[in-house]
Structure 1
């Protein structure tokens, strides 16, 4: 029988697994820009973090979900959705009226997940990944070039 996964807030000073963070953002220099300014929700299995989801304050009324990732062997079991929904609850508690999330044009599973969580596509930044990442990224056999920005109004959720 599989041990239950607990969704909880990261403890102050808790170290998040680098390999897990790199699943959602393959450039560590990009991760470092928001790592310590973010409130983290984690999926915990027997004291081991197997999933993360960050909520980064952008302004008094807006936040961004950054780096939603679940270890590959635990993907497809609803943990990512639970992490995102918990982060959205935190956003509502902090009075953020709008939450955005960004992903690549090639991130087909993530685009589906974010829409299932209530996000709607609002714009595309063409060639974002070409201009901001040192190496080309391929996912699902697609060159990840463009960034897709989605948003959710927490008052309509």
Structure 2
């Protein structure tokens, strides 16, 4: 664990707490999409000395499966192992809640995320063709690549 990761606490956001849109929008550029899944989800924030530096959203998909709908680390803190720490915490929380599988989706252009998720035990299970073209009004580009397709990955807990 990196020194930054050692100083992080991860806690459930209470329903009445303000959502960290600055962080959520890093992973999902649509506030409308975020507002659609957050009410049915658990939102966890990563804190460093009371400052929100990361977030993930855990959404139940039935009794046995949950999805990480959003996971983000503030740009200043990226590259320090904190994304992996949030992903590990999401799997642990999902297991504690009784889920047997954890699902996560990312864009075809999200090269670093695809690497992280597969290194963390997720396997590609599905490609949702043209997902981002159909659900987002503005084109999305990452790493110079048009983001068109949603790559779905799954992990047994």
When the two structures are superposed, what TM-score results if normalisation uses the length of structure 2? 0.92
Structure 1 residue 60, shift from structure 2 partner = 0.7
Find 2:62's aligned residue among 56, 59, 62.
59
Alignment pair present for 1:96 and 2:99: yes
Alpha-carbon deviations, 1:81-102, whole Å to 9, x = none?
Answer: 1111111111111121111101
The residue aligned with 1:17 is: 20
Unaligned runs of 5+ in 1: none
The residue aligned with 1:71 is: 74
Which residues of 2 match residues 134-153 of structure 1 at below 5 A? Answer: 134-153=137-156
How much is the aligned-residue C-alpha RMSD, in angstroms? 1.6
Match of 2:104, SS? strand
Alpha-carbon deviations, 1:69-116, whole Å to 9, x = none?
Answer: 000110011111111111111111112111110100000011111112
Paired residues, number: 154
In structure 2, how many angstroms separate the alpha carbons of the residues matched to 1:71 and 1:55? 18
When the two structures are superposed, what TM-score results if normalisation uses the length of structure 1? 0.92
In structure 2, how many angstroms separate the alpha carbons of the residues matched to 1:9 and 1:85? 15
The residue aligned with 1:43 is: 46
Unaligned runs of 5+ in 2: none
Match of 1:122, SS? strand
In structure 2, how many angstroms separate the alpha carbons of the residues matched to 1:56 and 1:134? 24
